[in-house]
Amino acid sequence: MPATARDDATLAVERHADGLVVLSFWVPGHRQNVLTERVVSDLAAALDEIDGRGRGWTPRGVIIRSGRDGSFFAGADISRIDRLWDRTDAEIEALCDAGRALFGRLSARPWPSVAIIDGACLGGGLELALGCDLRVATTDARTLLGLPEVKLGLLPGWGGTVRMPRLVGPGPAIEMAVAGESITGRMAERIGLVDALVPAEHALEAARRLIDRCGSNGDVQARRRRLAEPVAIDPLERDFLESSAAAVILGRTAGHYPAPPAILATMLRGCEVPAVEAGRIESSAFAALVRTPVARQLVRVFRIGERNRHDSGVGGDGATGETVGGAADRGSRSLPDDATGGVRAPAVVGAGIMGAGIAASHLRAGCAVTLVDVDERVLGASIAGVLDEAAWDRTTKRTDADAALALAGRLRSSSRLAALAGADFVVESVVERPDVKHRVLAEIESIVGPAAVITTNTSTNPIARLADAFVDASRFCGLHFFNPVRRMTLVEVVRGPATSDATVARAVAHAKRLGKCPVVVRDSPGFLVNRVLMPYLHEAVEMVREGVDCRRIDRVARQFGMPMGPIELYDMIGLDTAFYAGLVLGAAFGDRIEPSPVIPALVKSGRLGRKSGAGFYAYASGGQRARITAPDEAAAAIVMRYRVDAPAAPPTEATIADRLLLPMLLESLRVLDEGIVRDPRDVDLAVIHALGFPAFRGGLLAWADTLGAAEVVRRLEPLAALGPRMLPTDGLLALARAGGSFTA
């Protein structure tokens, strides 16, 4: 029979002649299906209708599926979480109980139910699928299953902690929920999360067969009874699972995130009792996590990430489409469709570490890409690495040889720039010498067509100066990737004085196609990230010069939540790289970021950091994966040549933290005052994605809001003797007087 639905409904009900009922969801107003209040009410109404037909009629089975291509359900509507902040624990628990009970109706009736998972099946979407008796996943690459609530500082609250461990076992369930990562349909089949894996065009027939097989032989009822009982687990195995998982969680989170240990405890306690009681444990744990400041900050971080995903790069606030900055088409409210994407023939020039990583990112994103390097030796040596990087499997933590072989057909390489003739988007990534870049960029422009966008991957070269190489500089911008390219998600899209809106929009769209998080910044020394980072690094070295142990400085930074301390970071970046960046920033902002004499002295001695086996620290070997053995004694001796007088009182850990972080905050305020970024949220997004600033603090400006402007000013007062770098800006003083917010 045809589908039936109200005009404003989110699902259609199909009643087939053979007794099957198919519920197909399509949620309007969203790019993917999400669990809105309307979805929940429509599902309840549909189940009421099925139950209410009565008079001996029972469907042969119910199938849940999405009517939207590539999306089962991508999770709950995030706006629903905002409404929980002011609710009581009892009210929150009641909402969890109601959602879990609704999904539970799918496996509590005489008829069996099957969920067809085609596309994203995340969070509440997976909990909806878990509420069904059986699950069919498709082989489509977009089919991903996961419980990402932990990334919002929460846990699954609609049955995920109850049903998942009963279905796949406590170990895999805990790992999946604690990590918050998605798995493919194939992996889901392997662990028993889905009952069949088929191509999308065969999914409905597979669901029918499951209903016929399991509905007729009593398998469904037996499974329901098993999933309602406690989970049988040996006490020694349970103790080992608890201790090992707790150790892994502590290693990953350093105790800063309450959700992972709460998930572990909730799942283990829930396994010991019947499913009904486990549900009450889940609701209570969810309500407790909603109250935490960490959850609020992580939800905010999620929101600014969503804003970024919808931002064209030329809108005033990432949503309205208003235009700020730009040159050739400044003031335009909309752009033609082909200006915001549609890259068909991307190319990368330069096969060094960064160029190879950028090329690999294109392959991973499904693009065919041309890689050009005039040095045939460098080009030839890079090809295998590009393919290995592109075929890296994060699940197995190794390169998928079959995938690498398949990707090889998408990689075209050449030692002649003439190979760029058909490119419509070029990323230049040659050596960071302005004279070389200037020459290469001019040659690229002479080869590619007039509509091609040309970008440069640079961390230090001014875009305005490089733009002198162009006849038409409106199609040129910076595209600053961070190393390592595969792991670092931020990309700075650097707008020069002549860069057009269309160029920025295409660069932003292409970066998103590569799975990156692009932030548009105006051309200035250090752009955004390096400008905010340098005061942090500079202050760390100044404290070392005062005699503070570098290990103590790094420990304080890690305790704050940074992934590594500033001295460790210096060694990882490379002291030679940092030296050059310091020269650029020192020339621009020397009154507060004066280049330290320590860095060039260490470089001159051959201590370049981790890659050379010695920097501030000594390493067991050279290379980016080398492990620290101890502070380098020879480096310490060099530092002491440039020793400066220390403050009268030895610094406390709180003082060390303030000296590291407050200069970063001051520089970010100057960035905002100068209009380098369009919105304060861009600063927080950038420092989280590029510098590892702790997401649980919401970003640099969100962290400052937890202190308040007046408190920031108070903390700066005892540091004023250190010079201009510790003096509050006029904007900060005004904010303190007004009691305003950094993130408003």
Of all helices (H) and strands (E), which one includes residue 518? strand 517-522
How far, in Å, CA of 452 to CA of 423, rounded? 7
Specify the 3-state DSSP secondary structure of 391: coil
How far, in Å, CA of 457 to CA of 432, rounded? 9
Instruction: List b or e across 149-170, with b for residues whose CB sees 16 or more CB atoms inside 10 angstroms.
Output: bbbbbbbbbbbbbbbbbbbbbb
| Burial of 684: CB neighbours in 10 Å, binned 0-12, 13-18, 19+ | buried
Residue whose tokens read 């969890």: 96
Structure tokens at 315: 């809108």
From residue 40, how far is each of 111, 148, 312, 453 by CA, in Å? 20, 20, 32, 45
How far, in Å, CA of 619 to CA of 632, rounded? 8
Q: What are 15's strand-pairing partners?
A: 21
How far, in Å, CA of 483 to CA of 486, rounded? 8
From residue 111, how far is each of 16, 114, 205, 276, 604 by CA, in Å? 15, 10, 17, 21, 77
How far, in Å, CA of 142 to CA of 145, rounded? 10
**Nearest 5°: phi and psi at 510?**
-70, -40
Structure tokens at 698: 């919401």
Of all helices (H) and strands (E), which one includes residue 144? strand 144-146
Q: What are 518's strand-pairing partners?
A: 491
Residues 6+ apart with CB under 8 A from 171: 241
Residue whose tokens read 């507060």: 592
- Clarify whether 16 is annotated catalytic: no
Catalytic residue among 30, 362, 438, 480: 480
Catalytic residues: 480
